[in-house]
């Protein structure tokens, strides 16, 4: 991969972000769907802005921050487990599936895996922001505003991305009859 030779290239998350953004493109034209870009990336920004900076001024308090830290810390290994399942599905599809829709199955699995990786990245970002908020409670109002805004934004993006993941898992399990595949493989 280009740019991976530097120390920052090895820890760059830009590939994960680009892969997730790619799932918001129209498959036929290759162009971004403006409605999806707005809904999945801009809309959470607007909601976060309204919650923190407009008349509401809803900041994250200490007990909520601690609860959210636990939730996002637990979500990371759960999402990693689902990512491993997507990898197994893709591998098994390549090995056992010789039907005409194999490429479509692999494409849906790849898009879902990309969204899962993006969700893990967002969860990690939430944990970092919430940790800063936890350490800052009651000290500096500007840091509280900024990190509350960023946390709300990440939570909104994560919530919407989870819907993308659920759609992908639904397609894999129901439409592609992976449940039948599991029963045939003896995983019932």
- CA–CA dist 58, 56 (Å, integer): 5
Residue 72 lies in a domain: yes
Q: Look at 35-39, 71-75, 154-158 and tell me which has the smallest mean pLDDT.
A: 35-39
Mean pLDDT of 65-73: 94
121 pLDDT band, cuts 50/70/90, is very high
Residue numbers of the domain that contains 73: 62-188
Residue 142 lies in a domain: yes
Mean pLDDT of 154-168: 94
171 pLDDT band, cuts 50/70/90, is confident
Query: Does the structure show a pLDDT above 90 at 149?
Result: yes
> CB of 81 within 8 A of CB of 120?
no
Residue 30 lies in a domain: no
At residue 188, the pLDDT reads: 47
- CA–CA dist 4, 14 (Å, integer): 11
**DSSP, res 13:** -
- Residues 31-48: b if buried by 16+ CB within 10 A, e if exposed: eeeeebeeebbeebeeeb
56 vs 143, residue with greater confidence: 143
Mean pLDDT of 119-147: 90
Tokens 């995983």 sit on residue: 187
The total of structural domains in the chain comes to 1
Residue 113 lies in a domain: yes
- What pTM does this model have? 0.83
108 vs 27, residue with greater confidence: 108
Residue 28 lies in a domain: no
> Could you tell me the two tokens for 133?
């908020």
């Amino acid at each position: 991969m280009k740019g991976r030779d530097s120390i920052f290239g090895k820890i760059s998350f830009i590939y994960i972000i680009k892969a997730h953004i790619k799932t918001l493109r129209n498959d036929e034209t290759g162009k971004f769907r403006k409605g999806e870009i707005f809904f999945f990336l801009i809309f959470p920004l607007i909601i976060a802005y309204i919650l923190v900076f407009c008349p509401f001024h809803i900041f994250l308090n200490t007990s909520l921050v601690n609860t959210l830290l636990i939730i996002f810390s637990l979500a990371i290994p759960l999402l990693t487990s689902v990512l491993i399942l997507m990898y197994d599905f893709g591998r098994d599809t390549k090995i056992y599936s010789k039907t005409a829709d194999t490429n479509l199955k692999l494409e849906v699995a790849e898009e879902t895996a990309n969204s899962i990786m993006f969700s893990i990245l967002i969860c990690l970002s939430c944990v970092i922001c919430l940790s800063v908020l936890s350490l800052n409670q009651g000290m500096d109002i500007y840091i509280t505003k900024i990190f509350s805004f960023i946390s709300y934004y990440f939570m909104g993006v994560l919530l919407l991305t989870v819907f993308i993941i659920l759609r992908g898992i639904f397609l894999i399990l129901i439409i592609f009859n992976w449940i039948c595949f599991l029963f045939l493989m003896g995983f019932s």
